[in-house]
Amino acid sequence: MHRFENAKVLLTGGGSGIGRAAALRLAAEGATVFSVDVDHSGLPETERIRLHQADVSDETEISAAVRAAAAELDGLDVVVNVAGIHRTTPIAELTVADLRRLYDVNLIGTALCCREALPHLPDGRGVIVNVSSSSATHGNPYMTAYSASKAAVLGFSLSLAAEVIGRGVRVVVVSPGTVATPLVGEDVLVGLDISYYRRIRSPMGVAEPDQIAATIAFAASADAGYLTGAEIRVDGGSHI
């Protein structure tokens, strides 16, 4: 498929996991992808994939990154917000610093990128795809702060879709279940019974990043032209 021939894509979190897979998928379908991440060691620069180091939660850095993307690509067609962090904490140990960091990266990073990129998106065909999580709508022990930050991404995106629908700009949320990436490594999911988590929360098994990237590509493509203000859960049946 070549659904993104000549498309200009700004993507965050391209250095690893789902973002890396989405950058490669979109580039393979013809897009030029400007990836923003704190660490790009997992993604090589190519003619179709440009790398820019920035922290999405830093207002100055993400504003400069969006300006650089629009200048280098001569505009933007698609924005994909994938960058995110995870942390598990029992409620008794939850700190304000934990809550703030999860909100800073997951919600505020997404919101700032959308705010800065929207003026560059074309009326009638601009698209934003924001990555939330099945944890936004499904409780998991020790994930209060992470789930809240991802529910915030969902709520933010639905209201943004309502705000920009008059311009013909679409906003779609992709919510993965459990995906095999460093984000859900045993060093991150501290205290969780991972076998329970994988068995109950992933009845089809843990997803590969490519499977989520395929859904992101669909949501960003003209194939999804009637899709906005919608959440696509790609969770292998975790809500059954």
* Residues labelled as active-site residues: 146
Q: Is the dihedral of CA 24, 26, 29, 31 positive or negative?
A: negative
Q: Which of 16, 89, 140, 215 binds ligand NAP (CB under 6 A)?
A: 16
65 binds ligand NAP (CB under 6 A): no
Cα–Cα dist 113/62, whole Å: 6
Q: Give yes or no for residue 35 binding ligand NAP (CB under 6 A).
A: no
- Between the alpha carbon of residue 42 and those of residues 31, 49, 90, 200, the distances in Å are 19, 12, 31, 30
Q: What angle do CA 162, 164, 168 make, to 5 degrees?
A: 110
Nearer Cβ to ligand NAP (73/179): 179
Q: Count how many Cα atoms sit within 13 Å of the Cα of residue 143 in the half-sphere of its side chain.
A: 22
Binding-site member from 4, 9, 10, 19 for ligand NAP (CB under 6 A): 19
Q: Which stretch binds ligand NAP (CB under 6 A): 11-19, 66-74, 90-98, 213-221?
A: 11-19
Q: Per-residue string for binding with ligand NAP, 196-225, x by CB under 6 A?
A: ------------------------------
- CA angle, 201 then 205 then 210, to 5°: 110
Q: Does 182 bind ligand NAP (CB under 6 A)?
A: yes
Q: Are 170 and 179 in contact (CB under 8 A)?
A: no
Establish if 236 lies at the interface with ligand NAP (CB under 6 A). no
Q: Looking at 28, 30, 48, 55, which residue binds ligand NAP (CB under 6 A)?
A: 55
Q: Which is nearer to ligand NAP, 28 or 168 (CB)?
A: 28
Window contacting ligand NAP (CB under 6 A); options: 10-18, 63-71, 88-96, 220-228: 10-18
d(CA 208, CA 198): 13
Q: Which residue's entry shows tokens 């969006």?
A: 66
Helix (H, G, I), strand (E, B) or coil at 44: coil
Q: Does 56 bind ligand NAP (CB under 6 A)?
A: yes
User: What is the rounded distance in angstroms from the CA atom of residue 231 to the CA atom of residue 216?
Assistant: 11
Q: Which residues sit at the interface with ligand NAP, rule CB under 6 A? A: 12-13, 15-19, 37-39, 55-57, 82-86, 105, 109, 131, 133, 176, 178-179, 181-184
